[in-house]
Amino acid sequence: MLPTDPPPANPHYSRTDATHLNVSDAEWKRILPDDVYHVAREKGTERAFTGKYWDATGLGTYHCAVCGNALFRSDSKFGSSCGWPSFFEALRPDSVRYESDRSFGMVRTEVLCNRCDSHLGHIFDDGPKPTGKRFCMNSIVLDFVPDKAR
């Protein structure tokens, strides 16, 4: 592929099909932009206050940028000073899944998309009511769909 070519279409992306995907990292590498791949499949983290959604306030739904799975509603998003888009609950309990993450000398809980198993960010216990949770997400693996676009 030449550097000027658009990225290949993503045949796995669907905002309505929640069926679990089994797609190899090699295939995701071929499909996804490098910066999306790095966060989603190599568990990277975008720099605070650099992502497109950390201070976004529009009404709509945040989908997984890798597979299209619906992850969060804007009414669960809250203004967090941490520099990453933050939510107090997932759209459905099974929108995401969790894994223990002991990297970098910390014990954290990783949040993954439950459809494509991509890394989304981490969850912490310092969020607002009603859940007290803070889903600290990377903008680059989210796809915001405004309500009026439906």
For Fe ion, the binding residues (CB under 5 A) are: 64, 66-67, 69, 113, 115-116, 118
CB of 105 to Fe ion, least distance (A): 28
What span, in angstroms and rounded, lies between the C-alpha atoms of 143 and 138?
11
d(CA 16, CA 92): 13
Q: How far is the CB of 130 from Fe ion (least distance, A)?
A: 26
Look up 136 and say whether it is catalytic: yes
Q: Which one is catalytic: 64, 113, 116, 136?
A: 136
The residues that bridge with 63 in the sheet, in sequence order, are 70, 143
| CB closer to Fe ion out of 128 and 145 | 145
Q: Which is nearer to Fe ion, 64 or 136 (CB)?
A: 64
* Residue 9 neighbours by CB under 8 Å, 6+ apart: 31
- By C-beta, is 24 or 57 nearer to Fe ion? 24
What does the alpha-carbon distance between residue 47 and residue 39 come to, in Å, rounded to a whole number?
Answer: 11
Angle ∠(131,135,140) on CA atoms, nearest 5: 155
Q: How far is the CB of 103 from Fe ion (least distance, A)?
A: 21
Active-site residues, by number, are 136
